[in-house]
Chains A and B, each alone.
Chain A
Amino acid sequence: MAKVRLLQLGAVVAVLLLWALIAAVGVVSSTALPGPGAVAGALGDLLGSGTFWQAVGETLRGAVTGLLVAIAVGIPVGLLTGVYAAAEESSRLLMEVLRSFPVIALLPVFLLVLGSTPGMKATVVFIACVFPVLLQAQYGARSVSQAVLETVHGYRIPRLLRLRRVVLPAAVPSIMTGLRLAATTSVLVSIGVEVLTTLPGIGHMIMDSQQGGASARAYAYILTAGAIGYTITLLAQFAEHRLLRWRPPAQAGKE
């Protein structure tokens, strides 16, 4: 285990060295790709500044708001449509069409309808995130085994209790997969909207720094975005681990 960790760290160091080498040799101009040292310096400066944390806050606010609404809508709708075949069949075409829409292409429409507001950003995030959650919840709800359904029927478990303590837990492994996807998407879309509009946040700061010629700072923001994504993945893994304690070790992490 320790050996694996060491190798993983080695790979990161190797990439950093390669980056430093490319920047030092001057294959790419230093405005297009500043060295790791310059970027680290810029990041250090940013960590102490209020604007940086404000930008991070703005991006996260859009991402988290959209994601939470997507979860609040996606899980119940997914479970219900998964349990009731008629609901799934009647909504299938609509779902297929809606999920195929590239959200970013719809951005001009949202700009027109909702204006360039934080609410618009959260809405776009919501639309991008709701389908992975909803479809995975639907899939998970359909995965309840026949034996379990029959037992629950035989013991006359009421509908709501069945949804809460049978269908939902059975769907959790699959929902977590959708959630991990949605969580990374939420930050991605939030930053994307900021790049394309004038809304404040990390995306906006990247554009701003680049146009201002401060490319080291732009890269510092880009690294920050990466760090946020990585943190979310870790959090999702932690949550998954907690929620799926009931699974035998051999089965854990298979989904």
Chain B
Amino acid sequence: MTRGSTLYVEDLCMSFGQGPQEHRVLDGLTLSVRPGESVCLVGPSGAGKTTLLRCLAGLTRPTSGGVRYGEQALTEPHTDIAVVSQDYRGSLLPWLRVWDNVAFPLQGRGVKKAVRKRRALECLEAVGLSDVGDKYPWQLSGGMQQRVAIARGLAYDAPVLLMDEPFGSVDAQSRFDLEDLTLQLRRQLGITVVVVTHDIDEAVYLGDRVIVLGGKPTVVLDNLTIPLGTDRDQLTTRADPRFAELRTRVLALIRGERVPAGPEAAHR
């Protein structure tokens, strides 16, 4: 039950500034994300992960190279792609009630009020917020606001969900809950999920694949398949020896150290 098309990033370069001040951030990235896949982009702060995600969302144009969604070049935001940004606090519209925030993108598509409200409340319930629909965003905690931003992404009903450091500023318990929620939604809806994170454990836990970014300027250091199956849970998956091995491997890559390839890590 997968929907949507494959996302292709082809030889993508991104520079800021011009002439002698030109500063290259991303240097020839090539990767792809298949429909229904969960892919984590992991790398140190300042590696240009957010820039890459913005290119995937069609919010920024790369300096050279490009992003394709199926056969279409992505130069503008696409109706098939929903983005949950890092700055969830700033991305919620403070003058709209919570349900209206979630439903607003649907209004842009001309969906009737009753229908979009029902849909918004369903999505809020899916992220564990059943009775806050009539509140304003400031009345919710940070973790709840982040759930609202995720619910908005879900309500948009896009086959592709891009998330930028989605759980960065919530407490550890909420973070685990939101990670499990993401996995569960992906299983249920068959959507493609791309998560940008600097948290290596989170990347390994969430991803079918982890794409490790690093270097100056940033290149793809490695593209690891995570063979932990689709049914994961915080206790057993994180205790799995393969999990430990994979996270060590990613950490070593980011730090630029060599590690012997373990027998269990299926290295592509």
Using CB atoms and an 8 Å cutoff, list the residues of chain A in contact with chain B: 145-148, 150-151, 153-158, 161, 165-166, 169-170, 172, 245-248
Contact = CB atoms under 8 A, between A and B. Distances in A.
Contacts of B107: 157, 161, 165
Given A145-B90, A155-B104, 4 more contacts: A147-B87, A154-B85, A155-B152, A246-B94
Majority secondary structure, A binding face = helix
Interface string B131-161: 0000010110000000000001000100000
B105 A246 contact: no
Nearest to A244: B95
A248 B108 contact: no
A137 to B, nearest CB: 16
B108 A158 contact: yes
Contacts of B63: none
A146 B136 CA distance: 20
Contacts of B91: 147-148, 150-151
A240 to B, nearest CB: 13
A148 B156 contact: no
Contact of B82 (A155, A166, A248): A155
Contacts of A155: 77, 82, 104-105, 108, 152, 156
Contact of A154 (B77, B95, B96, B136): B77
Interface of B: 57-59, 77, 79, 82-83, 85, 87, 90-91, 93-97, 104-105, 107-108, 136, 138-139, 152, 156
A243 B82 CA distance: 30
The dominant DSSP class at the B interface is loop
A199 B235 CA distance: 84
Contacts of B94: 246-247
Nearest to A172: B95
B108 A154 contact: no
B230 to A, nearest CB: 28
B55 to A, nearest CB: 13
17 contacts: A147-B85, A148-B93, A150-B59, A151-B85, A153-B77, A154-B77, A156-B77, A156-B79, A156-B105, A161-B108, A165-B93, A169-B95, A172-B95, A245-B136, A246-B94, A246-B95, A247-B94
Contacts of A157: 104-105, 107-108
Contacts of B90: 145-148
A172 B59 CA distance: 28
A34 B87 CA distance: 64
* Residue of A147, A154, A247 with most chain B CB atoms under a 10 A cut-off: A154
Nearest to B91: A151
A248 B136 CA distance: 9
Nearest to B152: A155
A153 B79 CA distance: 11
The 4 closest A-B pairs by CB, nearest first: A147-B90, A155-B105, A169-B95, A248-B138
Contacts of A245: 136
Contacts of A169: 93, 95-96
Contacts of A246: 94-97, 136
A170 B95 CA distance: 8
Contacts of B96: 165, 169, 246
Contacts of B97: 246
A248 B97 CA distance: 12
A246 B100 CA distance: 12
A151 B57 CA distance: 11
A150 B104 contact: no
Contact of B108 (A147, A150, A156, A170): A156
Nearest to A145: B90
B44 to A, nearest CB: 23
B248 to A, nearest CB: 36
B104 A154 contact: no
A48 B59 CA distance: 67
A146 B85 CA distance: 12
A149 to B, nearest CB: 10
B26 to A, nearest CB: 19
A222 to B, nearest CB: 40
Given A148-B91, A246-B94, A154 B138 contact: no
Contact of B59 (A153, A165, A170): A153
A154 B93 contact: no
A172 B90 CA distance: 18
Contacts of B152: 155
